[in-house]
Amino acid sequence: MSTDVVEAVVRVRGGVKFYRGAAKAARAYVEGDRSRADDYYLGEGCGVAARLTATPGGVEHAGSMDGDAYEKWVAGVDVDSGRKKGRVREDANALRFVEVTVNGPKTWSLAAALHPDISAALDEAQDKAAAEIVGWAAQHATTRVGPRGRQVQVPVEKIEAAVIRHYTSRAGDPHRHLHLQINARVWAAGAWRGLHSVGVRDMIEAINGIGHAAVATDPEFRAVLAVRGFTLDAETGEIEQLAPYVGAFSARTSQIHRNIDRYEAQWRREHPGEEPGPRLREAWDRRAWADARPDKVVPTDGADLVARWNAELRALGYHDPAAPAVLEATQVGWIDRDGATD
């Protein structure tokens, strides 16, 4: 990896989301947030989320979860046994999971849409990043043991996480990211207990750093980018050959998003107390594309949408690099160890 990449990724910042609420609502959000592009890339029958289990000694992939399994998982049910993980709170304020997002510069997503080999390499790098984060969390997360007023913090012995992959932003443009959800029920001292969520919040800087660095410095991902002639900006981490087109590309997709917001606002005024379903949202999406591009065909499936992204990008003047880029090996002396530590 290069020192340029290290310098760029350590500046990325992100947040953590604490989900409290109904498991059914979490499932509806996850399923409703998938776009046609997600269906195109993921394929049929792939499940809603991948499940990871982790101990301080390592991380294991525990298969995929369909909608029913994911809903049970959020509710605090052991997916393997079907039993609740100890005394699970049922009230509306019960913490269900802690979520962080693994993503990167927008130009990575544009490059992945252009080239299937970059797409595959980015997916694999993000999967590695998710495993790195979950493994680190298993080594550092804690729970509380003992009667109220005399509780002590103890290390967790096992945690579970769900990984949900999305390929677009809410505005409908390319945005590769993972939703990494750490379940609030953890195993420690012979029983299922509640995750110490404040401790996870204090870890967010480390979690973000691990996630971004694991992707940006992944050797396979960097090599595929170089073969396609792409180089990374030392300050931002953006792909230099695609960075000039991000603003105009995002402006066009923002126009579509504003159209959808307008449709939804009007619908909610006419249907107070109701929630729009996935078919209605899909209809808004198609209508928004037509309103924004009255002279072009509205994409009807994921493959068509990816082709549209690439056509939009080329219409803005983008051309593929003419030759591969050269990757330079990093010398140990080049690394700013104090900067990396900070």
Identify the three-state secondary structure at position 20: strand
Name residue 165's beta-bridge partners: 178
- Dist. CA 19–CA 164, nearest whole Å: 15
258: Cβ contacts below 8 Å, ≥ 6 apart: none
For the chain, what is the mean pLDDT? 84
Q: 101 burial class (0-12, 13-18, 19+ CB within 10 angstroms)?
A: middle
CB-based burial label for 182 (10 Å; 0-12, 13-18, 19+)? buried
Instruction: Kindly report, residue by residue over 123-180, the tens digit of the pLDDT.
Output: 999 999 999 999 999 999 999 988 888 888 899 999 999 999 888 876 667 888 899 9
Lowest mean pLDDT among 155-169, 213-227, 322-336: 322-336
| The pLDDT value given to residue 295 | 47
Model confidence at 7: pLDDT above 60: no
DSSP of 54-79, one letter per residue? EETTEEEEEEEE-HHHHHHHHTTB-T
Altogether, the residues listed in the chain come to a count of 342
Buried (b) or exposed (e) across 20-33, using 16+ Cβ within 10 A? eebbeebbbebeee
Q: Could you tell me which residue, 39 or 109, shows the higher pLDDT?
A: 109
pLDDT 10s digits, 247-281: 878 766 677 778 888 899 999 999 998 888 878 88
